[in-house]
Amino acid sequence: MIKTIIDKLLGKEPASRSRKPRFGKREEVPASVHGIDLQLVDPRAIDVVRTLKDEGYEAYVVGGAVRDLLLGLRPKDFDVATNATPEQVKHLFRRAFIIGKRFRIVHVVYGRGREHEVIEVSTFRAFLDNSLAEQVSGNERTSKLALAHMKHAVDASGRVLRDNVWGPQDQDATRRDFTVNAMYYDPETQVVVDFHKGIQDAQKRVLRMIGDPTTRYREDPVRIIRAVRFAAKLSPLGFKIEPKTAKPLVESEHLLKDVPQSRLFDEMLKLLQTGHALASIEQLKKLGLAKGIYPLLDVVVERAEHPFVKAALADTDRRVGEGKPVAPSFMLACVLWQDVKNGWEQRLKKGFHAFPALNDAIDEVFEQRIGDVSGRGKLAADMREIWIMQPRFDKRTGATPFGMVLQARFRAGFDFMRLRADVGEVEEALAEWWQEFQTADDARREDLVAQVREEQRQKQKATQPARRVPRKVEAAESPLDDMAAQSTSELGDAPAKKRRRRRRKPAGNGQAAAADSSQA
């Protein structure tokens, strides 16, 4: 203890720490040990690595893809890390685009249209901590004026402000969050480069933070959310967060208040749209983070057991698992439908017209729940269209059904209504009718609309009150006939004869005039 204090005063590095590499010890693990199946690696990622290596650069598949390969899974996305700069990478590929301002990366694009695939290529970054706070010569593509006020790489609380400095591979590994996400795989030599015993942790099914967890959460509080997301994704495989990594999570939650709302919104969507929404909510509750991360996420967690919201989250997980696209507008529209519906009903009770009332309710929900986040305009437009479509599904006659199926967001609106039917909010028959209508040809559509029209006519006829029919005297056609029938009955039981209507004769005929006068 005394020797340690003296060493600090003299500026000497403690012997125990001097023997341990600051950024981890490099280990090269061969295929015979790690057992990765090369057939699970995307050929396009292999092509990117090979192209960079042929030009003399270092290049590896990195991050979650290596973790999944070690677990025998086929990764959905492949990222590549290299010591080449973004400009050098872009120069080597025909379709490559440099993106980002805070930290520039390269998207190498293969294929076109919906079938295109993007391999994300990033440059090794240096690890910066408090002792290196004056290193601010970063690599952002932004104005010098925007960076003029930034004199430190970290702020007073330890949160990293700038970490966009190129560096060696060992530092790039150390600045990553979890050990199982900090491995590098060379598909040509089939060697895994591991600095922090990530392979052992993957085998033990442990999520462990690189370095001191409290410090790492302070450097970037979003790692709190990432810890939840990875725990949810890997829990079916038996992964658990290491106790030392989990303990500071709740204590560090307040640090999220300093994170931009737009970034928290994006992280929330990753929690709910990567195929493990229900598991993520369970992890939030288990770790004591059910409230306080982000207001809208609090609403999702609170309503997760509501049948409609639970069905929507389960449906999102299912679609991701099947490789189908998912949209945040649909999922959030399901979560906030309860607010919209309540506001709509309140306005209708006050005498508002239906559609203005619905639009007002939607505007109120956007202000209260969504707030001002990046991309809200497009998100809000899609959500509004889904909600506005719901009352229109009730109108199945005239031209409305034909126009509905032509709308760009019809499928999302129908899927929303389909979920409502699944939980009993609307009739099952309504969902089945629209399911058939959207897939039918024109003739069948006309028949379906005609059937609805006939059903509505029959229903209206059945519910319409019976008309009061005036009492009639047999064989009488008018009040004059009533009088004739009465005079006939006075003469006896002789049957009354139906009187034939006569043409009025010209004036001057006394006999005819007397006869008309007697029947008046």
Reply yes or no on whether 177 is catalytic.
Answer: yes
Is the pLDDT assigned to residue 141 strictly greater than 90? no
Q: What is the mean pLDDT of residues 307-332?
A: 93
CB atoms within 10 A of CB 496: 17
- The per-residue pLDDT for 471 is 55
Q: How confident is the model at residue 152 (pLDDT cuts 50, 70, 90)?
A: very low
Mean pLDDT over the full length of the chain = 82
Is the pLDDT assigned to residue 158 strictly greater than 80? no
- d(CA 366, CA 336) in angstroms, rounded, equals 9
- d(CA 99, CA 122) in angstroms, rounded, equals 11
Q: What is the mean pLDDT of residues 158-178?
A: 77
Find tokens 């507008």 and name the residue. Answer: 329
> Which position among 77, 129, 415, 422 bears the catalytic label?
77
- The per-residue pLDDT for 226 is 94
State pLDDT tens for residues 349-406: 999 999 999 999 999 999 888 876 555 678 889 999 999 999 999 999 999 999 999 9
- The per-residue pLDDT for 342 is 95
Reply yes or no on whether 79 is catalytic.
Answer: yes
Q: Which of 146-150, 365-369, 407-411, 458-462 has the weakest average pLDDT?
A: 146-150
424-433: long-range contacts at Cβ-Cβ below 8 A with a sequence spacing of 24 or more?
A: 425/308, 426/393, 430/393, 430/394, 433/396
Name, in order, each residue with C-beta under 8 angstroms of 74's C-beta and a sequence gap of 6 or more: 40, 68
CA angle, residues 104, 109, 111, in degrees to nearest 5: 170
> Which position among 79, 163, 186, 317 bears the catalytic label?
79
Is the pLDDT assigned to residue 510 strictly greater than 90? no
Q: What is the mean pLDDT of residues 105-128?
A: 87
> Which position among 177, 194, 315, 382 bears the catalytic label?
177
Reply yes or no on whether 258 is catalytic.
Answer: no
Q: Dihedrals φ, ψ of 232, to 5°?
A: -70, -40
Say what angle helices 328-349 and 261-273 make with each other, to 10 degrees: 110
- The per-residue pLDDT for 262 is 85
Residue 218 and residue 158 in contact, taking contact as beta carbons nearer than 8 Å: yes
- The per-residue pLDDT for 470 is 58
Radius of gyration of the chain (CA): 38
